Amino acid sequence: MTDVQFADEILDRLKERNPRFQEKAYLFVLSALHHVINGLDQPRHISGPDLAHGVRTLAINQFGPLARTVLEHWGIHSTTDIGDIVFALVDAGILITQEGDSPEDFHGLFDFEEAFDRNYPWGVGG
């Protein structure tokens, strides 16, 4: 089995268990995690708030004013959804957690309308 086939099987299982999220949602959260890790001076555990803010930053950098629309199209409507994706990836064996990590770490971290619309950083990329 090739790595691509293995990845496709995992994504298929994730979509089957959590049909509200498109496969791009899982890939984007993993990309955001990679982005956050690469921005660190020293390796360390990435918390729920760290990752949620990383998702926001990466979405704005990649999609500009359409960031919220793209995330919502993939099924990500809140930071709670980001946590649900993370813990689905944990259940699938893709990510690991530390003692004390829980989906609640992602609950209510920021409001999507406020974070992506009202507080959009218009100077990004310019």
Question: Quick check: 124 and 60 in contact, CB under 8 A?
Answer: yes
The whole domain housing 74 covers 3-118
The count of structural domains within the chain is 1
**Within-domain flag for 31:** yes
The predicted model scores a pTM of 0.90
Q: What is the mean pLDDT of residues 36-43?
A: 94
Task: Check residue 2 and give its pLDDT.
Answer: 56
Residue 112 and residue 121: Cα distance in Å, rounded?
A: 14
**Within-domain flag for 61:** yes
**Within-domain flag for 125:** no
Which has the higher per-residue pLDDT, 13 or 103? Answer: 103
Confidence category of residue 122, pLDDT binned at 50, 70, 90: confident
Phi-psi map region of 55: left, alpha, beta (phi>0 left; psi -120 to 50 alpha)? alpha
Confidence category of residue 86, pLDDT binned at 50, 70, 90: very high
pLDDT at 5 over 70: no
Of 81, 88, 70, 87, the C-alpha closest to 109 is: 81
Task: Check residue 12 and give its pLDDT.
Answer: 87
**Within-domain flag for 124:** no
**Within-domain flag for 123:** no
pLDDT at 108 over 50: yes
Q: What is the mean pLDDT of residues 27-40?
A: 96
